[in-house]
Structure 1
Amino acid sequence: MKGYKIEGDEVVFTFNKNDYKKVSHDAFGIAEDFKDFDIENVVVSGNFNNWSKDKWYMKKIDNENYELRKKLTDFSDDFSWEFKFVINNNFWAEPSKKDPNIIQATKDGTHLNVYNLKMYTGAYPDKNGNVRFRLRGYENAKNVVLSGTFNRWNESIFKMYKITNGWEIILKLDPGNYEYKFIVDGKWMEDPSNPDKVTNEFGEYNSHINVQRRVTFKLNAFPDAKNVILTGSFNNWNETKYRMTKVNNTWTFSLVMSGGKHHYKFIVDNKWITDPDNSVREYDDQGNINSVCMVK
């Protein structure tokens, strides 16, 4: 993707001055050719930092390249962000319309004559990702794209690559429920290998996937207890099903969970308690206080 890459738990913003031909200014639109500029500094500006021109300064790597590293945890739960590079705290580097992650800029609901780059933090291609999308056949297709709720139904950014007897892309996806389709040479289609489908707003169907994550609950107390049960909203508060195991005086239980917020408690020798190591608690509809687990 133009302007950024994701390495492990970091977003790496990358700027190369040879990639940009024009710059613009808030006051008078397109200003002049980028090659005529003497660069004093480069700043990353986007809706993740309220489009600030003087906060996220990039590090100069050489005469042409700048870089800024940020933790994925520096961003909220939104899946996508718009951003741009600011030169000398005043001029916006204008990306090419040919860039795959390009979107027309808007202000107060009105489209502007400039464009922003788009970044995805909750869903992005990664060969070590956790979800593999595969479309069998269509060997003669020229272009196959994966589009869904995880990329705001973008029609170009997640291009699939050819494999034997089909097409494939591997994404790193946060836990949650997603709808998606394949676009084969401009034609939208459901995933023929996935029977899980939901009706969309056009009276047609989207393929559906529920991405889950393994979570381990731990109770670092009550080493002398005889029986400890994990219970919560994820198992309808069952009082017998999830029997915890004691390992080195710590009670543990692991399960695969869907994304979102879950309430839970421990039952220690028939006594219900909240998690003493988790300060995040909420009342439920019956006025009970429960511990909270966020899966994301």
Structure 2
Amino acid sequence: MKYWIYIYIILISFINFKAFSQENSMKGYRIEGDEVVFSFDKRDYTKATDEKTLERLEFDDFDIQNVVVAGNFNSWSRDSWKMTQVSEHIFELRKKLDDFKDNFNWEFKFVINNRIWAEPDKNVSNITYAKEGNKNYYTYNLKMYTGYPSKKGNAKFFLKGYRNAKKVILAGSFNKWNEELFSMNKTDEGWELTLQLKPDRYEYRFIIDGYWIEDPENSNKTPNEYGEYNSVIDINQKVQFYLEGNLEANKVILTGSFNDWSESSYEMKKAENGWTFSTRLPYGKHHYKFIVDGEWMTDPSNPVKEFDGHGNINSVKMIK
């Protein structure tokens, strides 16, 4: 009986290990600090496709002269992102995370000798389909986190004290709670790190030498599944509202769900051809209207409108 229990435990352990390995089988790139490191290891491939003839090739049938990274981040260029051979089997290319700031989800592939497409194995976790004719091919998917370190970023995190700590990590919903990725920088007063984040609401915590804590200086927090709290940060986006014309009006007010439909707080400024007002809005959907000398109106230049729960039609501004 003990013998069968022992086999069962080994089998379950093997299954769990296999599942874990598949879940973490990211290929083609890694993130180191503020850089994306593209990595091509020819031992990872068995098949390739000639881009001009669409002929399937065995990977050992040709000599590798050069390798480039081609993706929608560089308009699928075959020559601009050339890789450097760093060992017998491996080519690498380093790029700053700032090069990918306009999007957080990219597709790419490795092109050999300017025309051979190295196809990722279908068991790699970060792949996506590319269709050519009636055949399916695979490309890599570069899944950026919704935040990345940047000295000019829009969210500065600071933990006061803990000068004796060896390492402090910033983990949150913006990096899928990764326990290693975002190392904070030690200063004279504590630890800090600045991120560039897309507009949204994020939860986060600090990890001090393996010990998790909420942000002691941030009163905005929410309960988590461990009976503790996650700190919360809201990232807003600057938005300019514009109402064309109505130059004869004495006063124009911007009102909406973002200011509790105030009829006085957001007074717009008269410009050359209309009225403007700038504010910062959080991620999500916002209803709004203009009040022109006491008369309420939707935004005539915005075709997106919705009914609210009271039978009114409002203009809609989406922040994403």
Structure 1 and Structure 2 fold alike (TM over 0.5): yes
Q: 2:45 aligns with which of 24, 29, 52?
A: 24
User: Quick one: percent identity of the two aligned structures?
Assistant: 42
Q: 1:242 deviation in Å?
A: 2.1
Question: Quick one: which amino acid aligns to residue 198 of structure 1?
Answer: T
Aligned to 1:132: 156
Aligned to 2:118: 90
Q: Is 1:224 equivalent to 2:248 in the alignment?
A: yes
Question: Quick one: which amino acid aligns to residue 302 of structure 2?
Answer: N
Q: 1:213 deviation in Å?
A: 2.8
Q: 1:270 aligns with which of 265, 286, 294?
A: 294
For each residue in 1:151-203, what CA deviation from the matched residue of structure 2 results, as whole angstroms up to 9, or x when unmatched? Answer: 11111111111211321100111222111001112111111222222110111
Structure 1 residues 124-273: aligned runs within 5 Å: 124-273=148-297
Structure 1 unaligned residues grouped into runs of 5+ = 49-54, 94-103, 108-115
Aligned to 2:125: 105
Structure 1 residues 1-12: aligned runs within 5 Å: none
| Number of aligned residue pairs | 253
Q: Is 1:290 equivalent to 2:310 in the alignment?
A: no
Contact conserved, 1:61 with 1:67, CA < 8 A, in 2? no
Question: Quick one: which amino acid aligns to residue 150 of structure 2?
Answer: D
CA distance in 1, matches of 2:305, 2:266: 21
Q: 1:134 deviation in Å?
A: 1.0
Instruction: Rate the CA distance shift 1:41–1:149 in 2: closer, same or farther, 3 A.
Output: closer
Question: Quick one: which amino acid aligns to residue 23 of structure 1?
Answer: D
CA distance in 2, matches of 1:63, 1:205: 44
- How large is the RMSD of aligned CA atoms in angstroms? 3.8
Greater gyration radius: 2
In terms of fraction of residues, the more helix-rich structure is 2
Contact conserved, 2:68 with 2:82, CA < 8 A, in 1? no
Question: Quick one: which amino acid aligns to residue 230 of structure 1?
Answer: L
The runs of at least 4 aligned residues of structure 1 exceeding 6 Å deviation read 65-71
TM-score (normalizing by structure 1): 0.70
For each residue in 1:13-55, what CA deviation from the matched residue of structure 2 results, as whole angstroms up to 9, or x when unmatched? Answer: 76465xx47423479xxx999xx7444654449xx9xxxxxx9
Aligned to 1:113: none
Structure 2 unaligned residues grouped into runs of 5+ = 1-28, 49-57, 85-91, 128-139
Contact conserved, 1:146 with 1:160, CA < 8 A, in 2? yes
TM-score (normalizing by structure 2): 0.65
